[in-house]
Amino acid sequence: MTMLDTTVPENAAERPETPGWSRRDLLAGAGFLAAFWGAQAHAVPPPAPADIDPSSLLNKLVRRLTFGVTQSELNLVRTMGYDAYLEYHLDWQSIDDSAVLAQMGNYPTLTLTYQQMLGVTGGTVQNECIEAAIIRAALSKRQFFERMVEFWTDHVNIEMNGDRLRRFKAIDDRDVIRPNALGNFRDLITASAHSPAMLDYLDNNLSTAGNPNENYARELMELHTLGVDGGYTQNDVIEVARCFTGWQFWNDAQGALSGTFRYNSAVHDTGQKVVLGNVIPARSAAAGVQDGADVLNILFNHPSTAAYVSKKLCRWLLGYDVPQGVVDSVAAAYTSTSGDIKSMIRAALQPNNLAMASPKYKRPWHHFVSCMRVANTTITTTSGMRSRLISAGMPRFGWPTPDGYPDNPDYWVGLIIPRWNFGADLTNPGITGFTLDTAGYFSALTTADQMADKINSASFGDELTAPERDRIRDYLLPNTPTLTRQREALGLAMAAPSFQWY
């Protein structure tokens, strides 16, 4: 079994030969959990066998499409089968999510215009946007849609930093990311190019004919479309920056126009430009907004964009080292459908591709949400989770650079202690606003074996390793464990090595 890191904290006790962990041990934190799970805490699960059985493949599909296995999702995939379950989640607007949609009414800033947001503190706008994101990820039935919202949020990353960007990013999440997460790549990037949040974050609002700012031009090509090896040059960056001069937003004193996109013809560079060998003709200032539209069209149709976006999507869906043939098939879907995201996903998630896909390490956002889903968590406020995301290095909308949070296990694996603590605190219970229905989860079960089997089946799709299942069972001994002990067993399961992966 491959190991990323086998370091155990120095204060970890030796693993006992017999059960006997106490609640005091559990609450002692990382040292106990390191000793309980041992050096395998970071172990990479072995790759799937080429002849993976159909049931395991269905479980794997659930793990890739959702933020965590639940009994209801397992029942759904086993009833529908692979293809129908994938199509069910791709057709996200047909999924009844009325309960979560009703909860969004608790966050009135989600529907405000920028002008209306000026009457609310930026902190309130930010907190409501983050709280809504947590509830959607944990409780929405539109699970794959929310997973793709996370993907595109990183792809066109904008940090919520400062009152204006807090308001702008909340609007960007609502009007750019969410409407296009399972739509068309062209529409997504076009909307992003017009987004005041992006124009502010990358300083394009300051870009003028006499002083073009290259930030947006560079990131548009390097991160949003072509990729760093996509064939553009520094001269292309300069020319694209010239094309986007005048792409700005209205300031706060413009009434209903405040905080909306503005093409300022007075500061646009009207001269001829050459982008990736394509001539963009000189135009009048009034017609100059077409320069930016031409650039976007060139980038959308460039083969490097198909290759780069497809590789990144495959990494998100399938693993860290996807065969080039799979990436090429997704790129072909991009080209043949003019960037239809659903078609690209169908190409990536062919059963044979998923069967061979390597395990992926859950980033803190994914891990925390999957813990909440395991535990049947009722949420009244998310402040406790927000603070823990900060401790884990992944505050929502908090990555400061345009490249988005890393989709790389080496970056996250050293931050294991906040992950362990989250599960222990969630089940203690010790996170404000989160309540577990432990009695309902273990309803009618009386023995340690029954309860360990329930955790394995309902929350892991019967794919806990035998040693993991047995260690959880041992913690529940002697039989007829208390409700407290049952909660703690769930917390231990959330720290299991295999639960760190999906």
User: pLDDT by residue (tens digit) across 348-361?
Assistant: 999 999 999 999 99
Spatial CA neighbour of 61 closest among 83, 44, 46, 79:
83
**What's the Cα-to-Cα distance from 105 to each of 102, 128, 354, 378, rounded to whole Å?**
6, 11, 37, 17
pLDDT tens column, 17-26:
333 444 455 5
Cis before 45? omega within 30: no
CB environment 244-269: b (16+ within 10 A), e (fewer): bbbbbbbeeeeeeebbeebbbeebbb
Which amino acid type is present at position 89? H
Helix (H), strand (E) at residue 129:
helix 122-139
pLDDT for the residue 287:
98
Task: Delimit the domains of the chain by residue range.
Answer: 23-43+361-500
C-alpha dihedral (255, 157, 501, 382), degrees to nearest 10: -30
- Nearest by Cα to 134 from 383, 357, 374: 383
**pLDDT at site 112:** 99
- C-alpha pair distances (Å), 437 with each of 76, 124, 297, 443: 22, 30, 52, 10
Q: Are 480 and 447 in contact (CB under 8 A)?
A: yes
| Cα(370)–Cα(394) distance, integer angstroms | 15
39-49 in b/e burial notation, b at 16+ Cβ within 10 A? eebbbbbeebe
Number of C-beta neighbours around residue 432 at 10 A: 12
Sign, CA torsion 95/98/101/103: negative
- How far apart CA 1 and CA 292 sit, in angstroms, is 50
Quick check: 12 pLDDT over 50?
no
- 23-27, 55-59, 239-243, 363-367: the lowest-pLDDT one: 23-27
Q: What is the mean pLDDT of residues 306-313?
A: 99
SS3 119: coil
Q: Which residue has the higher pLDDT, 413 or 365?
A: 365
Q: DSSP assignment of 48-106, as one string? A: PPTT--HHHHHHHHHHHHSSS--HHHHHHHHHH-HHHHHHHHHSGGGS--HHHHHHGGG
CA dist 248 and 260 (Å) reads: 9
- The DSSP call for residue 190 is H
pLDDT at residue 44, rounded to an integer: 72
Tokens coding 153: 């949020």
Give yes or no for a contact between 237 and 218, defined as CB atoms under 8 angstroms apart: yes
Residue 14 has pLDDT above 60, yes or no: no
User: How many helices and strands, by DSSP H and E, does the chain display?
Assistant: 28, 6
Residue pLDDT, tens place only, 252-303: 999 999 999 999 999 999 999 999 999 999 999 999 999 999 999 999 999 9
Provide the pLDDT for residue 400.
Answer: 98
**466 vs 212: CA distance, rounded Å:** 61
Identify which of 355, 165, 107, 140 has the alpha carbon closest to the alpha carbon of residue 148: 140
